C-alpha cells in the first residue's frame, strides 16, 4: 500500500553553468511535489486499530507540509557560489533563511534530491514507521523529476547539511537553531 501526498509551492531560481540557457536569468515556477509513503518493512507490527489506518493523514502530512508551506514556498534557489548570496548577506540578511542553497546549480534534479533527503530527515523524527519510496517534483506541466530511495542511496554529492536536518532550514548560512 502506498500513501501519496501532493503539495504545490512557488519558487525562483537561476542556473549559472549553462550560459546558453534562459535559466541564467532569475525566474520562477509553480511546482508540485508528490511523495509516496509506505510502512517500513520492519514496522510490520504497525497497529491499525479500529481506525483502519496506520496513521491519520493529518498526522502524516503535518511536518512535511509545514516545511513546504513555511520554508520552501516562495524560496529563492541558488547555487552555493552564486554572487547573489553576497548581495543578500550584505543588504538583506533577514532574507537569508529564504534562500535554498545547494552545491552546484539548483536544477530540478538537484533540488529534488535535496528535498527527498530533507523529507527522510523529517520522517525519521516524526514518522519513523514510514519511508518515502517515490518522490516527484513537477517543474512544469511537461517536466518532472522522479526519484526513488535507490536514487538517493546512489547520490554521490553532498547538497548541503541542511537537507539532513528535520527543521525548516534551506541552507547552511543560517545557524540551524535560528
What digits encode the pLDDT tens for the residues 143-162? 999 999 899 888 877 788 99
Provide the percentage of residues in the chain whose pLDDT is more than 70.
92
User: Has residue 9 been placed in a domain?
Assistant: yes
Which pLDDT tens digit goes with each residue over 2-57?
A: 889 999 999 999 999 888 888 888 999 999 999 999 888 776 555 656 666 667 78
Total domains in the fold of the chain = 1
**What is the domain range of residue 65?**
1-21+54-73+106-146
Query: pTM for the complete prediction?
Result: 0.91
User: Has residue 1 been placed in a domain?
Assistant: yes
User: Has residue 86 been placed in a domain?
Assistant: no
Q: What is the DSSP secondary-structure string of the chain?
A: --EEEEEEEEEEE---S-TTSGGGS-EEEEEEEEEEEEE-GGGTT---GGGTSSS-HHHHHHHHHHHIIIIITTEEEEETT-THHHHHHHH-GGGGGGEEEESS---HHHHHHHHHHHHHHHHHHH-TTEEEEEEEEEEETTEEEEE-HHHHHT--S---GGGGSSSS---SSS-TT-
User: Has residue 81 been placed in a domain?
Assistant: no
User: Has residue 2 been placed in a domain?
Assistant: yes
User: Has residue 34 been placed in a domain?
Assistant: no
User: Has residue 10 been placed in a domain?
Assistant: yes
Amino acid at each position: 500500500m502506498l500513501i501519496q501526498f501532493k503539495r504545490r509551492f512557488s519558487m525562483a531560481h537561476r542556473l549559472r553553468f549553462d550560459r546558453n540557457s534562459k535559466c541564467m536569468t532569475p525566474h520562477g515556477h509553480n511546482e508540485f511535489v508528490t511523495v509516496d509513503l509506505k510502512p517500513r518493512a520492519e514496522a510490520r507490527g504497525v497497529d491499525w486499530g479500529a481506525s483502519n489506518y496506520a496513521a491519520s493523514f493529518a498526522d502524516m502530512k503535518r511536518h512535511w507540509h509545514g516545511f513546504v508551506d513555511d520554508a520552501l514556498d516562495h524560496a529563492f534557489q541558488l547555487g552555493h557560489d552564486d554572487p547573489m548570496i553576497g548581495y543578500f548577506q550584505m543588504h538583506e540578511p533577514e532574507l537569508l533563511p529564504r534562500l535554498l542553497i545547494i552545491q552546484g546549480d539548483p536544477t530540478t534534479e538537484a533540488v529534488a534530491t535535496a528535498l527527498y533527503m530533507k523529507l527522510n530527515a523529517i520522517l525519521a523524527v516524526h514518522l519513523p514507521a514510514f519511508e518515502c519510496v517515490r518522490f516527484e517534483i513537477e517543474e512544469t506541466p511537461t517536466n518532472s523529476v522522479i526519484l526513488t530511495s535507490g536514487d538517493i542511496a546512489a547520490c554521490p554529492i553532498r547538497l548541503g547539511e541542511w537537507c539532513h536536518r528535520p527543521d525548516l532550514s534551506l541552507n547552511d548560512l543560517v545557524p540551524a537553531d535560528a
